[in-house]
Structure 1
Amino acid sequence: MNYKTDTAATSAANVLRFPALSLAGQAGTSFKHEHLAAILADGKPRGFFEVHAENYMGDGGHPHRALEAIRRDNPVSLHGVCMSIGGPQSLDRAHLARFKRLVDRYEPALVSEHLAWSTHETTFFNDLLPLPYTQATLDRVCDHIEQVQEAIGRPMLLENPSTYVTFLESTMSETDFIRTIARRTGCGLLLDVNNVFVSATNHGYAALDYLADFPLASVGEIHLAGHAEQSDDEGDLLLIDSHDGPVADAVWKLYEIVIARSGPIPTLIEWDSNIPDWPVLKAEAAAAQSILDQRAINGGERRDVA
């Protein structure tokens, strides 16, 4: 691993406030505060919950009380959305410090961020913007990932993007870019299957070809989500990674192919707007769990696939 830790600081941070819970082979859902009562009424539902780190960067209040209630009985995955890993400027040290405090406080089973940028000088964009895949961008992304991993004292997962434009100056494919990042930094990968489908449809390539070249052996978590259909200025189909509905049938089929190749990888259902009642979200996670369980029965442990 290409990250360093301070032994004394790490030992102090690892005094458990919450149980050490595995999410191996489990499906989970995004945690929404409006679902808290229903989740607690379920007793101890199987699976894990993922939260956006930026929603918990205050020191206290209801958000932390709700997350503490969930974390007592369930593993948690911490997903950052504003680190601007691919941004042209240095990482925001204050933001990184807040991120580290959350990792220390909740001891998440997984920690992840996006292959994207969202900050320019003092401007913050409410979006995850794409990158040109060049050597200069690669060096910058690797440097930023190493800074994050050194700060939190553990490897992070990097999520593949959904994209709506490509760059003429790119000198490598997205899969080669991601593979090289994982090799250089020791980070893991978060494979968002919906993002693969959205980008492949928008840019006119085969999602299966992308997945065949993706370094599945480095994947520590999978995301599934819904997308929206629009038309671009020429009237062609444009998919938007909207997270506002159920997982599409085509994405489920791609997911089954991935799991057949890789084995049961922890899988999250993302649903961030037009949020349904808890039983609907729980049912989506149960569908993913069924696929994971069937793969575990048929194939046992996950295989490493290069």
Structure 2
Amino acid sequence: MASSEQHSNASLSIASGSVGIGLRAPHYHNLLTERPAVCWLEVHSENYLDKQCVQRHILREVAQHYPLSFHGVGLSLGSSDPLNPAHLDALKQLIDEFNPALLSEHLSWSSVSGRYFNDLLPIPYTYESLDHFCHQVNQAQQTLGRQILIENPTAYLHYKGSELTEWDFLNEITRRTGCGLLLDLNNIYVNSVNHSFECQQYLDNINLDTVGELHLAGFSVNEYDEGRMLIDTHGNRVSDPVWALFAQVRHQLNCQAPALIEWDTDIPDMSVLLEEVEKAENIQTELEVQYA
């Protein structure tokens, strides 16, 4: 059982403009013994739902030293299935124990008829799916007693039946449900290349006032005879175009939501993640000096 001190430390707020990293198993030892100067950690909720698992015990230790953001991949908010009550209950217990500063999920679906896929699949941007997604978000927020941030997805195909742009779809979700947005700048860039639109168009139209967290990540490139496709692998350093978007969002658009260095595959040494954190912080410092 988590102590009251652990509850208090875990509920620390995450400062605006701060930069965090993901909590990943290869770095447990570093975080618990060396305690690197990272402002906050993002946690994949599903890895810690079991109260008796070793990961949950480690999270209790880590939470004494770092504020937390919980990032889920399993609610399947866009599925035609009803929300899984067992999953919701386990997630609520996790949230009640650790009281994370932020809570997020995806604009996607991953289940049908109770069968789950190991992927975050895109949904059609229709008014029908908008109504359903908002219903699911409202139910989840009511059950969990918390606002959820919804992350913009990567998608490698378009639905012909879509009636709304992605930004209009997301803006309407926030308006109807009171949820916030987790704005993944790498996802915007990857989609802009794969689907031939301008990132500026996206940023001009998304409601940045609702953004509670930013993601910065790397991508891979798949080459084909017909051309190339960017793949959102989270397995590389943040690219220069995404750093440029980050600088624009911070300065020109004045969005100071906490930013995450997201790295999920081919996980490097902690020192590499800290270099990426330092780069993000240096960009912010340079902007402050340049425009002071």
Q: TM-score, normalised by structure 2?
A: 0.93
* SS class of match (2:265): coil
1:231 match: 223
Does 1:32 pair with 2:46? Answer: no
* CA contact 2:75–2:105 (8 Å) conserved in 1: yes
**What letter corresponds to residue 140 of structure 1 in structure 2?**
H
Q: Distance in 2 between matches of 1:87 and 1:102?
A: 23
- Corresponding position: 1:257 with 2:257: no
> Which deviates the most, 48-57 or 20-29?
20-29
- Does 1:280 pair with 2:269? no
In structure 2, do the counterparts of structure 1 residues 236 and 33 end up closer, same or farther at CA, with 3 Å as the change threshold?
A: same
**Which residue number in structure 2 is paired with residue 183 of structure 1?**
175
Compute the displacement of 1:31 (Å): 0.6
Q: How does 1:1-306 map to 2 (within 5 A)?
A: 17-19=7-9, 20-24=11-15, 25-43=17-35, 45-232=37-224, 235-260=226-251, 261-295=253-287
CA deviation after TM superposition for structure 1 residue 69, in Å: 1.6
Aligned length: 286
Q: Which residue identity does 1:60 align to in structure 2? A: Q
Distance 1:55 1:61 in 2: 9
* Partners of 1:134 and 1:170 within 8 A in 2: yes
What amino acid maps onto 1:205 in structure 2?
Answer: F
SS in 2 for 1:18: helix
Which whole-Å CA distance do the structure 2 matches of 1:293 and 1:75 have between them? 22
Gaps of 5+ in 2: none
* Secondary structure of the corresponding residue to residue 86 of structure 1: coil
Q: 1:33 and 1:107 mapped to 2: Cα distance?
A: 21
Shift of the alpha carbon at 1:207? 1.3
State the AA in 2 paired with 1:18: S
Tell me, yes or no, if the aligned pair for 2:181 and 2:210 is still in contact at 8 Å: yes
* Partner Cα separation in structure 1 for residue 78 and residue 235 of structure 2: 26
Q: Identify the range of structure 1 (286-295 vs 143-152) with the bigger mean alpha-carbon deviation.
A: 286-295
Q: Give structure 1 stretches of 5+ with no counterpart.
A: 1-13, 301-306
Q: Could you say if the C-alpha distance between residues 76 and 298 of structure 1 is closer, same or farther in structure 2, counting changes exceeding 3 Å? A: farther
Residue 290 of structure 1, CA deviation: 2.6
**In 1, Cα distance between the equivalents of 2:198 and 2:82?**
35
Q: CA deviation at 1:293?
A: 4.4
TM-score, L = length of structure 1:
0.89
State the Cα RMSD in Å. Answer: 1.8
